[in-house]
Amino acid sequence: MAKKAVVLVSGGLDSATVLAQAVAAGYQCYALAFDYGQRHRAELVAAKRVAETGGAAEFKIIHLDLSSIGGSALTDMNIAVPDAGALGIPVTYVPARNTVFLSIALGWAEVLNADDIFIGVNAVDYSGYPDCRPAFIEAFETLANVATKAGVEGHGMHIHTPLMKLSKADIVKAGTALGVDYAQTVSCYSANDKGEACGRCDSCYLRREGFEQAGVVDPTRYSKP
């Protein structure tokens, strides 16, 4: 019987690649997305599409309301999404987002008797988010193994980050080799309801540059030419 894994799926390029990698590695994948009050809600439609076509055994959306605490351009409509190139940790950082997401993924993994969680964090082509670094993942995995029944009973919980050291171009190449249809994905922080990208934010810039450097045709749909 295939090993079970929970895979965080946002609907973006990175998580679609991670899902494909986990399926290719032989895992029975349970895809998990979050409706957390984000302004780019088209990613939830994309997440469902990616999970269904990417071979997930089950897809679940968890409803949270991180907009109630705000503090990010992704959850507070009064904070504008900046164009690419801002210095330091950008305002698109959502406080504690990956900690919350991984905690819920950990709970579902326990229920499923799964020892593995996959997440598409990246420490190379990323926007400076502190919860996308190896130090955070290592700390969370340590926490997972002392905070759960599975962990203390000897079923080691593992957080897999196969994209951690890859450039965006390498991620595009890896996903393309696995047959990922990137036209189904939405990465833009300001995507409209049709899933069309703004072409100006950090996420759009990194995505576009990744396709260019990989020599792969960019299937992204933009709201303006």
224 has a pLDDT exceeding 90 = no
Predicted local confidence at residue 136, as pLDDT: 95
Q: How confident is the model at residue 90 (pLDDT cuts 50, 70, 90)?
A: confident
Angle at 148 between CA 145 and CA 150, to 5 degrees: 80
Average pLDDT over residues 112-123: 95
- Residue 109, token pair as written in the block: 């993994």
For 195, how many CA atoms within 13 A lie in the half-sphere containing its CB? 18
CA distances from residue 173 to 20, 117, 218, 219 in whole angstroms, order as listed: 12, 23, 12, 14
Identify which has the larger pLDDT, 41 or 116. Answer: 116
Q: What ranges in the chain are assigned the alpha helix state H?
A: 13-24, 42-53, 97-112, 134-147, 149-152, 168-177, 202-214
Please tell me the distance from the alpha carbon of residue 213 to that of residue 194, in angstroms, as a whole number.
27
Count CB-CB contacts under 10 A for residue 77: 11
Res 129: pLDDT? 86
Global pTM value: 0.94
Interacting residues of 143 by C-beta distance below 8 A, sequence separation 6+: none
Confidence at residue 126, expressed as pLDDT on a 0 to 100 scale: 60
pLDDT category at 125 given cuts 50, 70, 90 is low
Q: Place 127 in a pLDDT band, splitting at 50, 70 and 90.
A: low
Task: Decide if pLDDT at 92 tops 90.
Answer: no
Q: Which pLDDT score, from 0 to 100, does residue 86 have?
A: 66
d(CA 139, CA 60): 26
Judge contact between 104 and 32, C-beta under 8 A: yes
- Which one-letter DSSP state was computed for residue 179? T
Does residue 79 have a pLDDT over 70?
yes
Which domains can be identified in the chain, with CATH numbers? 4-214 (3.40.50.620)
Parallel, antiparallel, or unpaired: how do β-strands 158-160 and 28-35 relate?
Answer: unpaired
Round to whole Å and give the CA distance between 56 and 118: 13
Q: What is the pLDDT of residues 152-210, one digit of tens each?
A: 887 889 999 999 999 999 999 999 999 999 999 999 999 999 999 999 998 999 999 99
